[in-house]
Structure 1
Amino acid sequence: MAFRILRMNGYNVSADELYHVAEASGFHPSLEGYLNDTRSLLELHKASKVSISEDEVILDSIGSWSGCLLKEQLRSGGLQGTPLFREVEHALEFPFYTTLDRLDHRRNIENFDVTEDQMLKASYLSCYTSNDILALGIRDFNACQVTYQEELRHLDRWDEHRKIEFYSEHVEIVFSAIYTSVNELGAKASLLQDRDVTKHLVEIVQWPLQWLDLLRSMMTEVEWRINKYVPTTEKHIRNGALTFALGPIVLPALYFVGPKIPESAVKEPEYNELFRLMSTCGRLLNDVQTYEREYSEGKVNSVSLPVLQSGGSMSIAEARREIQKPIDTCRRDLLRLVLRKEGAVPGPCKELFWKMCKVCYFFYSRGDAFSSPEEKAREVDAVVNLPLQLKGSNSASLPVLWEKSNQHA
């Protein structure tokens, strides 16, 4: 746990610190009972997922053997019906980078087991009770839900206004929506940044992702399809990272995160690399889940391309396995950049790139959620609308740490 927490908070801790547990067989016989400690195994497995380099073979090894032992413990039935069973099952199926933070917070609150929580027994937390910590978690989750609901209502009003005003002309819809939105965001962001950033939002300078370039990249894909041109995989990925269109979503949002972003920062290579890794990872995750639909529409992507270029010697299954390597590399490299304390881009802004990468995993790690949105609707609703479901002792005797009227604060 210490390794995972330190690394995820930007401390430079080496995976070599875990070399003594790189293999299950490396345990001393006197520590054999440790292998049957499900909580410890689970923490080791979680630690193995915060890899920031493909060279961290120690973490890969730990992830492999700990995962196998945890699956054996689930099959044994000894944990059946316990909160720990659900936690282990979830951790094995959904690594931390494939879920939304707020969904994890909700799950932790609803499955919180006061009697099992070992961390809270530490002496440095003795001034707090488990119920105090739980109550704070509930307060934070409820306050965030109020914020999300207000933002969603604002978006609904914006969308309704645009439909009424521009529905008749498709081109006018695109131009007016972009023009109005960018200028509105620019005015608000300029107030927060104490300088005029509207020009950057319009141009998205230093990026091959100006709005015009985005549309040109989309047109390139149309021309490939019309002309039956088969690009190289590298060319497809380079162009596809642009048409995945995360730039207009993420880049303006950076100005609203909190820190002041100097103009020089957006010209730094670090800024470009954060965007490239996030967009490439998202594009490849999308390709893995959409290759069948896109191929039926006359499109190619990074799954179908290697199959076509191999003359049929490579199967779809093999191509999907191969593409997993660059996906893992992009994710690890992005996490390493985000966790590095040095750099021109402020930490909270770097975290936004990582959170968007997690959103991509959330939508594409188990299917194409954009084409089948009902599969994710329940989880999104759990974050935005559904009240927490507290069970048993968790719903009773919680301390009142705030007045209800202050939940909007």
Structure 2
Amino acid sequence: MSGGYIPLSSHTNHSCKKTSGHGFQGKPVIVAKRNLNVSATDGNFIEKIRERLNNGKVEISPSAYDTAWVAMVPSREYSGSKQPCFPQCLDWIMESQNPDGSWGLHPGLAKDSLSCTLACVLALHKWNVGQQLVQRGLDFIRSNGWAACNEVQSSPIGFNVIFPAMINYAKELDLTLPLSSTLVDSLLQVRDSEIRRDRNLEYVAEGLGNFCNWKEILTRQTSNGSLFNSPATTAAALIHCHDDKCFQYLVSVLAVFDKWVPTVYPLDIYTRLCVVDTLERLGVSRFFGHEIGCILDEMYRLWQRKEEEIFADVSCRAMAFRLLRMKGYEVSSDELAAYVDQEHFFETVSLQMSGVDTVLELYRASQARLHEDETTLEKLHAWTSTFLKQQLLSKTILDKRLQKQVEYDLKNFHGILDRVENRRALDLYEIGDYQVLKAAYRFPTVHNEDIFLFSKQDFNICQAQYRKDLDQLERWYADCKLDTLKYGRNVVRVSHFLTSAMLGDPSLSEARVAFAKTIVLVTRMDDFFDHHGSREESLRIIELIRQWKEQPTSVYGSEEVEILFTALYNTVNDLAEKAYVRQGRCIKSVLINLWIEILTSFMSEMDSWTVETAPSMDEYLSFAWVSIGCRICILTSIHFLGVKLPEDVVMSPESTSLCRHVSLVARLLNDIQTFEKEQKERKLNSVSLQLAAHKGAISEEDAISEIEKLVEYNRRKLLQLILQTEGSRMPKECKHVFWQSGKIGYYLYSHGDEFTSPQQMMEDAKSLIFQPLSLPLLD
């Protein structure tokens, strides 16, 4: 079952000399040079971002909540001491009250502000300092106490356990809180209910009071001396157990941050992974290839030695697995086996790691499945996708941006086109973005002005080039007189959008245009062969291509044949001339052979519909994978990527395997969506052949399920070839085009036939091509 490279007659000579006569005289392709993408301001941004990538320093905001707990630790005598062990934290609290009397990061996070404020009030009152600050804090609690029981308000992790516990602690300190007894009783009932549910509450142990067995909790202590990398939990353990490793951990954190502590530490590895992931999502990772490579090399070394900071955190482990695997590092999915059962997952992981964002990371990791026997990823995908869908249906994801991200990832993970994702990520990206654990915190290493401004500016530069590409394509279409044809589909804008979405770098203009022109011509030919041309006319086009004379004088037989052949003839000549500059060799014979191959496959499809005996599945796939058009589009465009490609690489078995797998993904997905329509037209596709093979013994749903398995098989095989390095001669730049082409198949056909009914595509194209991102004024 090979696609077959169809040779030309031996007497035919194909050179890349310029042609004249009635040939298409297109204007030169506009190429954006790499150095034109970077202004002086861009260069400053790049250097600042590189510095962040290289120095590994973590930028994170202070946590008033955690700092207050550290401030409550008594001096080295521990019990009975009337002096704080870390007075600098107390000083920070007294210096950091907000104008409204609260402590905390974000005034809009009412529960976070309440938790932070009460903790700081307790610390000040415990050491009998800052009475005016205490009073202002109590006034804030009085005015905002209503939020404590408001389920609509976003809640820090463990709030229902911790906040009532701090109310009880206030009573022990003889501090009267301005909260109604009804509210307090309600909060205590909720807390008791949470504890009775017997969830894994060690992460919020400071809120457990007498319910807590601290010696047992200390068995969860990490090598750095912390409990869950949480300063608050570790400080509470130090208060109760006088553990020296806890003390040394807090000393080490304050050695870094001086007078305050963050809500989680250390965060170095997770931070570096997040930066890499963010730069890729924003579409600017191409500027930082060396730095990203160094980071991932280091992550791989840490993965191999099972670094605790990676493996102790579910999100960090899942993200590391996904990023490393998708960059070709050998990482085993067995390292995620502990999370394959949903019930076991929520029973064993701490509250810190049981949120929707963590499950989303596991879901993303589950999509990096390479092998059929990776049941770990299969099971992980099953429960995480179901869980996330349930969260959306129940509307329990209060973070609107997280909700949008979950919706987008679930809709079509394999069909997320790079530049479409970049635009969505840019729309969701905020400099002041915050995350919430037991306290809200900002992450300036990942969310900062430099990345924000540079990414938006780069997007607008790319978008301007895409519009130039579109102008060129529309001129070409008119010059080819394809707009005069009264039948078939005009897919200029569709093809332009798809190629812009998959090959975003402005310098790849020639590759995008070559890919888009090929899509347009393939679609026009398909419509002609399928519906509008006679069998004789279709055969005439193939014969004209086989003859391929430098000065065509043939009789075409019809105006439509002349328009189609002339458009193809002049476009191939034009592309061959441009490729000669890039490659230093003539590729015209390769392109002509590819056109003969695909048009012959169209004829095979026509013949299969007219014979009484349907082809077998193998026979059908032997021509159907070619007729979908992926092979000719990819092998044409990769000559314009800026890498040298010998012909034996382009037409190698490796290239054919890549083409076959990516084409079958698109073909089979298309068959699933068009089955009912084609069945009414008495046409064959893989679904109908599957039904015929079982002689009606299976339902349409079962037949479609079998084809979906075949799609997944080919997607995995494609990914294996993409990531394979040993024995591979195909450059990674070219493999990227194969992988992105596979995504296009999912994008177009996973939820309907977007190619012919492009509702979602129209919205995506508008945002990618026509709606620039607004840039704030720079000082």
Query: Is this contact kept in 2: 1:193–1:260, CA < 8 A?
Result: yes
User: 1:199 and 2:589 equivalent?
Assistant: yes
Which structure exhibits the higher relative contact order, with contacts defined as CA atoms closer than 8 Å and separated by 6 or more residues?
A: 1
What code does the residue aligned with 2:396 have?
G
Any residues of structure 2 matched to 1:128-167 within 5 Å, and which? 130-163=448-481
Residue 303 of structure 1: SS of its match in structure 2?
helix
Offset of residue 94 of structure 1: 2.0
- Tell me if the contact between 2:346 and 2:354 (Cα under 8 Å) persists in the aligned partners: no
Q: How far did 1:165 drift?
A: 10
Q: Is 1:98 matched up with 2:402? A: no
Whether 2:617 is the aligned partner of 1:233: answer yes
Contact preservation (8 Å) 2:385, 2:410:
yes
The whole-number CA distance in structure 2 between the counterparts of 1:51 and 1:164 is 43
How far 1:379 moved relative to its partner? 1.7
Alpha-carbon distance between aligned partners in 2 of 1:298 and 1:252, rounded to the nearest angstrom: 33
Q: 2:428 matched to which residue of 1?
A: 111
Residue in 2 that maps onto 1:359: 744
Task: Please give the per-residue CA displacement for 1:344-375, whole angstroms capped at 9, x wherever unaligned.
Answer: 00001011011111111111010112232344
Contact map agreement 2:666 2:745 (CA 8 A) in 1: yes
Change (3 A) 1:153 1:261: same
Output the CA distance in 2 between the equivalents of 1:14 and 1:325.
23
Rounded to whole Å, the distance in 2 between the matches of 1:326 and 1:263 is: 30
Q: Is the 8 A contact 1:285 1:361 kept in 2?
A: yes
Question: Retained in 1: the 8 A contact 2:412–2:746?
Answer: no
Give me the whole-angstrom Cα distance separating, in 1, the residues matched to 2:403 and 2:333. 27
1:405 paired residue number = none
Deviation at 1:164, TM superposition (A): 7.5
Matched, 1:88 2:88: no
**Structure 1 gap segments, 5+ residues each:** 204-209, 401-409
Cα distance in 2 for partners of 1:29, 1:358 equals: 36
- For residues 686 and 326 of structure 2, the distance between their equivalents in structure 1, rounded to whole angstroms, comes to 31
Q: Secondary structure of the residue that 1:367 maps to in structure 2? A: coil
| Cα distance in 2 for residues equivalent to 1:104 and 1:7 | 20
For residue 404 of structure 1, what is the aligned residue in structure 2?
none
Alignment partner of 1:41 is 2:426: no
Q: C-alpha distance in 2, partners of 1:79/1:229? A: 54
Match of 1:312 among 696, 711, 716: 696
Q: Are 1:286 and 2:670 matched, yes or no? A: yes
TM-score (norm 1): 0.87
Matched AA of 1:355: Q
**Secondary structure of 1:366's partner?**
coil
CA gap of 1:154–1:117, structure 2 versus 1, over 3 A, is farther
| 2:753 aligned residue | 368
Residue number in structure 2 paired with 1:77: 395
Question: Cα 1:103–1:29, aligned 2, differ >3 Å: closer, same or farther?
Answer: same
CA distance in 2 between counterparts of 1:261 and 1:364 reads 31
**After superposition, what is the alpha-carbon deviation per residue over 1:276-320, rounded to whole angstroms, capped at 9, x for unaligned?**
101111110110001111122221100111223333222211111
Residues 1:272 and 2:656 aligned together: yes
Matched, 1:330 2:703: no
8 Å contact kept, 1:7–1:13: yes
Structure-2 separation of matches of 1:312 and 1:255: 47
**Which residue in 1 is equivalent to 2:767?**
382
Pairwise CA distance, 1:23: 2.3
Matched, 1:260 2:644: yes
Letter in 1 for 2:715: R
TM-score (ref. length: structure 2) = 0.47
2:732 corresponds to:
347
C-alpha distance in structure 1 between counterparts of 2:483 and 2:367, whole Å: 48
Contact 1:74 1:80 in 2 (8 A): no
User: Using the alignment, how far apart are the partners of 1:286 and 1:154 within structure 2?
Assistant: 29
CA pair 75-144 structure 1, distance change in 2 beyond 3 A: same
Distance 1:381 1:248 in 2: 27
Please state if 1:211 is matched with 2:528.
no
1:93-149 Cα offsets, whole Å, 9 max, x none, are 221x2121111111111112432369x977xx84x7522212222122212211111
Residue 207 (structure 1) aligns with? none
**How far apart are the structure 2 equivalents of 1:18 and 1:138?**
35
Contact 1:131 1:399 in 2 (8 A): no
Amino acid at match of 2:463: Q
Whole-angstrom distance in 2 between the partners of 1:10 and 1:81: 33
Show the counterpart of 1:243. Answer: 627
2:575 aligned partner:
185
For 1:179 and 1:80, how far apart are their aligned partners in 2?
A: 57
Question: Which one-letter code corresponds to 2:417 in the other structure?
Answer: L
**1:152-180 C-alpha deviation (Å, 9 max, x unpaired):** 11010001111189867111122212211
* Gap runs ≥5 in structure 2: 1-318, 486-557
Q: Indicate if the aligned counterparts of 1:217 and 1:243 stay in contact, CA closer than 8 A.
A: yes
- The whole-number CA distance in structure 2 between the counterparts of 1:165 and 1:86 is 39
Aligned letter for 2:574? E
| Residues 30 and 299 of structure 1, relative CA distance in 2, 3 Å threshold | closer
Cα-to-partner distance string for 1:193-249 (whole Å, 9 max, x where unaligned) = 12222332223xxxxxx3223222211221222233311112112211111122221
Query: Rg bigger for which structure?
Result: 2
Q: 1:102–1:383: 8 Å Cα contact kept in structure 2?
A: yes
Matched ranges for 1:4-15 at <5 A: 4-15=322-333
CA change 1:24–1:214 in 2 (3 A) is same
Task: Write the distance in 1 (CA, Å) between the matches of 2:688 and 2:720.
Answer: 30
1:244/1:129 CA distance change after superposition, 3 Å: closer
Asked if structure 2 preserves the Cα contact closer than 8 Å seen for 1:99 and 1:362, the reply is yes
Residue identity in the other structure for 2:326: M
Residues 183/105 of structure 1: CA separation in 2 closer, same or farther (3 Å cut): same
Query: CA separation in 1, counterparts of 2:709 and 2:380?
Result: 19
Does the alignment pair 1:55 with 2:373?
Answer: yes
> Matched residue of 2:349: which SS?
helix
Q: Using the alignment, how far apart are the partners of 2:618 and 2:718 within structure 1? A: 19
Amino acid at match of 1:160: A
Q: Tell me whether 6-15 or 283-292 shows the greater mean CA deviation.
A: 6-15
| Aligned 8 A contact 2:321 2:331 in 1 | yes
CA 1:262–1:19 in structure 2 vs 1: closer, same or farther (change >3 Å)? same
For 1:254 and 1:268, the matched residues in 2 are separated by: 14
Cα RMSD (Å) of the superposition? Answer: 2.4
Counterpart amino acid of residue 687 in structure 2: V
AA of the residue aligned to 1:186? A
Q: Relative to structure 1, is the Cα distance of residues 26 and 295 closer, same or farther in structure 2, using a 3 angstrom cutoff?
A: same
Alignment CA distance shift 1:74-1:223 (3 Å): closer
* 1:399 CA displacement: 5.2
Aligned partners of 1:166 and 1:172 also within 8 Å:
no
How many pairs align? 383
